[in-house]
Amino acid sequence: MKIILLGPPGSGKGTQGDLVGKKYGFPKISTGDLLRQAVKEGTPLGKKAEVSMSQGGLVSDDIVIEMVRDRVLSSDCQKGYILDGFPRNIPQAHRLEEIDPERQEIVLDVCLSEPTLIDRLSSRRICSRCGAVFNLVIHNTKKRGICDECGAELIQRQDDRPEVIKERLRVYHENTEALVEYYKKKYVYHCINSEAKIEDVFKSICTILEKEIAKSREIETSQ
C-alpha cells in the first residue's frame, strides 16, 4: 500500500500518519522531518534546503525527490509506506509514479478550515530532542515547556511563526492544492475532515483503509 497524506500544513496529517504507521506497520516518510534532520546535522543537502524552509517556500524538487527515492526503495518499504508532505506539486507526483509505478496510490486528504489551521500551527510546539509534537491548546505537556516523551525542552518551529505560516499557506494554495483534482481523477481519493478529535479522525481513516485493504485482497485472490 502506498498512502499519500495530502492536506495543508497544520491539518494534522503528520499525527495521523504516525498512528496509521503504528497500526498497519508501514513506515511514515515525512519529507519535512527528513529535511529538518539534514538542516540540524548541517549536511550539504540541509544547507541548500535551510533558507527556503525558514521562509516557508518549497525546497527544490530535485533535492526532495532524491531523498524520497532513496527512502521508498529501501527494504522496510517493500510492504508499503505512508508519505507525509510529498508530493507537494504535480511534477513531484509524476516523479513518484516513475519511482514506484507498481503500487496503487491511496490519497487521504486531511482538511481543516484556514482559521483553525493558523491557530493550530501557531500553538504547535515540538521537542528539541526527539521531535515529539505538542499543542499548547489541544495537546499540552504535563510539565509546561517540557517534552512528555523524553524530558527535553520544547521549541517552536522557525516556520510556525505567524509571518511564515502565511507564506506556507500561500505556497500550499499555489502548488499543492492542484494535486487534489489530479488525484481525484486518477487514484483512490478520500477527503477527511480533521476538525474532530485526533482519535475520531483516526477512526475514519481506519474505516477507509480497511475497505481498501479488503478490496485489494479481493483483487489479489481473483487473479
What is the number of other CB atoms lying within 10 angstroms of the CB of residue 164? 19
Considering the rule CB under 6 A, would residue 160 count as an interface residue with ligand AMP? no
Minimum distance, C-beta of residue 125 to ligand AMP, in the bound complex (Å): 14
Active site residue 69: no
Region binding ligand AMP by CB under 6 A among candidate stretches 16-24, 30-38, 134-142, 145-153: 30-38
Considering the rule CB under 6 A, would residue 64 count as an interface residue with ligand AMP? yes
Considering the rule CB under 6 A, would residue 58 count as an interface residue with ligand AMP? yes
Considering the rule CB under 6 A, would residue 109 count as an interface residue with ligand AMP? no
CB burial string 165-176: b at 16+ within 10 A, e below: beebbebbeebb
Considering the rule CB under 6 A, would residue 110 count as an interface residue with ligand AMP? no
Considering the rule CB under 6 A, would residue 52 count as an interface residue with ligand AMP? yes
In 73-177, which residue ranges form alpha helices assigned H by DSSP?
Answer: 90-99, 114-122, 162-171
Q: What are phi and psi of 142, to 5 degrees?
A: -65, -45
Identity at 20, one-letter amino acid code: V
Residue 198 CA to residue 3 CA, distance in Å, equals: 18
2 or 168, CB closer to ligand AMP? 168
Active site residue 157: yes
> What are the catalytic residues?
13, 88, 124, 157, 168
